[in-house]
Structure 1
Amino acid sequence: MKNSKTYSVPSKMIMLISFMVLFFLYVGCDEDDDIVTTPELEIKEVASGLVGPMGIETDAKGNIWVTESGTAVPDADNDTHNNNGKVILITPDGQKYDAIVNLESYANVHSDELQGTVHILRDGEMLYVLSGNHLYQANISNFKPGDTPLDAGSLPSEDVFAIVSKLPLASNPDHDSHSYNLTKGPDGDLYIADAGANAIVHRKGANDYTILAEIPAIPNPLFPGMGGPTVQSVPTSILYDGNAFLVTSLTGFPFPAGEAIIYKISLSGEVSVYQKGLTMLVDIVEGDNSNRLVAQHASSFKPASGFAPNSGSLIWTNGTNTTVLADGLSQPVAIKQVDDHTWYVTTLGDGSVIKVTYQ
């Protein structure tokens, strides 16, 4: 994610209204503030003490795989490529183990922001990891909790930045690239939401990348008071819904409230609007039969104080209406769907993984 280069369904309405009433009447916390429970919603912390938790996946054994972004703090040689990103494995009983270490982490030269280990995708025995400039590929079929962690330096990888930053893009005059999130398309290829290039990148094979679509900038409603006349889209996640890709946008600085858009992108690259009126979106998953579920990172941003604390949300959307499922979250980043009423969520603000269950 980065700053600008310059610095619900009508037939469910009664049920949803009832849910909101119950939410405000019955929300409660346990003694450790780990659980929020209502008759229909439970939020439980399953892991804490993580350092910059970002991407999340699960496997058939019930393990949770989470990335830690790293720090990009210069070392003694003033090398900003600190390479201390990780993938950790969390067992069903909550034990944490390093699974992949020494993943690339550095400060982006265009935004000065951390470009560390972000999202992951498990495809059978293969774990794809986006970190720094690179797409890493790790075969995890034989990895067991407690094994010596895999070293990123020994893994096959591809320099996405080197390729994408050279592609001609009207939306990327600074030749930036920040491969941030990814999914598998109907053709079996990988599709990457590039938050630096403001584009969806199609990986056809090893080191074979093309641009599927550019995501346009939008007018900045806070100009001239804050920021420039336009705001970058900053695509943050991508989901194939069976017909097209749905892509969320964070928007760049000054992160204007209500201006984040979910885009719909056809397999041929045609871009249209799926849903407007949202704020700082960072992920999207299948949801249930009627709605997709998106994560709002925060409700507002101020240069002096940053993102509003504990203002993140999970929000239902069907392309027309939106309804809050859960709010008061501490900077959610990624969602992993378990089934149509259960999700794991990484929360960057408090270094946790939470389990959200909605009946």
Structure 2
Amino acid sequence: MKKLFLLLNVVIFSLFIQACTDHLEPVSEPRSFSSEPFVTGLKYPIGMAMDDVGNLWVTEAGSGSGTDGSVAMITPSGHKTTFVTGLQSLMREGSIEGISHLVYKNGKLYFLHGSNGMLYTADVAGFKPGDAAVNLSDIPSQDLGTFVRSLALTDPLNSNTYHLTFGPDEHMYVVDAGSNAIIKRDKGTGALTLFAHFPNVAQNVEAVPTGIAYDGNRFLVSTLTGFPFQEGNAKIFQVEKNGTVSEYKTGFTTLTGITLSANNKPIVIQHGVFGPQGFGAKTGRVLDENGKTLLGDISRPTDIIRANEKTYFLLSYADGTITKLSY
């Protein structure tokens, strides 16, 4: 009887160890992505986020003239419903811009209008496919741009609140591409402070941060770089919890977004290679942290997010599409 009891304990312990080992086994990093179309017909999409039930929320820059910048919800089956429109759409240096990126947390959607420096906080918990769009005037907003310009980080003064995430103690951290900075927004009071400032990536070439991700210990930030967008000038910076900035990886070109793999490794997107006629056709790429191409021949990507361990979604600004990536 004692032997049987001992044998059962050994079996149970072995199963426990195996279960723990299986659980702790790391997810493999992508070596390449396969892609399939998911959504088409978007109006110059910029940013993308996913909510708790798998809906994608996407910002669309619009026509470049007027107030048709918008935010839309897209269901897992690809059905699109406009959540809000009426945001200013601008044409600047050949690109349509205005509204920028967004993030979802606990039933609320936070989205930025970079050109106007505004942060909007929308309650989307009850919004359903097919619902009528809400009024922009009914969404609470906060002016970030005025604060950024007051810091006088650039000459002439510049601000473009572009990307955002949540970090330590659930405070919000906003990347400003115009001032090459990260602004911290206090969770409780909404108070704004300068958290970090990025150095030039080359002589007289600004960093132009475009994406931010928090891995639980530090922030990782992608950079576009300023004109003339030379190949190899873009970097991934790391920013410690105290705001200290250092280089993480170098040698990239025109990065416009960053996400983290299941193992918290950065995956970035190259907007394109810039030449006499602007960004070359199909020169966008998805890259790992070492610069290896995971997917090429992309038209000016502006965002990438991870949906689960091995599935990602990619935005193409030029094609107006969302593509599903997997490996």
Report matched runs for 1:247-286 at 5 Å: 247-286=221-260
**Counterparts of 1:160 and 1:106 in 2: how far apart (Å)?**
19
Match of 1:53 in 2: 45
Match of 2:274 in 1: 301
Match of 1:338 in 2: 307
Aligned to 1:71, which of 63, 67, 72? 63
Moved more, 321-330 or 272-281: 321-330
Aligned to 1:244, which of 205, 218, 221? 218
Query: What is the CA-CA distance between 1:112 and the residue it aligns to?
Result: 8.6
| Paired letter, 2:108 | M
**Counterparts of 1:114 and 1:351 in 2: how far apart (Å)?**
12
TM-score, normalization: structure 1?
A: 0.78
Q: Would you say the 8 A contact 2:201–2:235 is kept in 1?
A: no
Q: Would you say the 8 A contact 2:220–2:266 is kept in 1?
A: no
TM-score, normalization: structure 2?
A: 0.85
Change (3 A) 1:208 1:112: farther
| Paired letter, 2:55 | N
Over 6 Å off, 4+ runs:
none
Report matched runs for 1:1-359 at 5 Å: 41-73=33-65, 82-106=66-90, 114-131=96-113, 132-133=115-116, 134-169=118-153, 172-205=154-187, 208-220=191-203, 230-289=204-263, 291-298=265-272, 300-302=273-275, 304-317=276-289, 321-358=290-327
Change (3 A) 1:349 1:106: closer
| Paired letter, 1:253 | F
Could you say which structure has the larger radius of gyration? 2
Q: Deviations over 1:309-345 (max 9, x none)?
A: 111111111xxx3321111111111111112311011
Q: Deviations over 1:120-168 (max 9, x none)?
A: 1001101001113210010001101111111212110011111111113
**Counterparts of 1:184 and 1:329 in 2: how far apart (Å)?**
29
Once the two structures are aligned, what percentage of the paired residues are identical?
Answer: 36
Paired positions, count: 296
Query: What is the CA-CA distance between 1:70 and the residue it aligns to?
Result: 2.4
| Paired letter, 1:286 | L
Q: Would you say the 8 A contact 1:296–1:332 is kept in 2?
A: yes
What do you get for the CA RMSD once the two structures are aligned?
2.0
| Paired letter, 1:179 | T
Q: Would you say the 8 A contact 1:102–1:153 is kept in 2?
A: no
| Paired letter, 2:312 | W
Match of 2:8 in 1: none
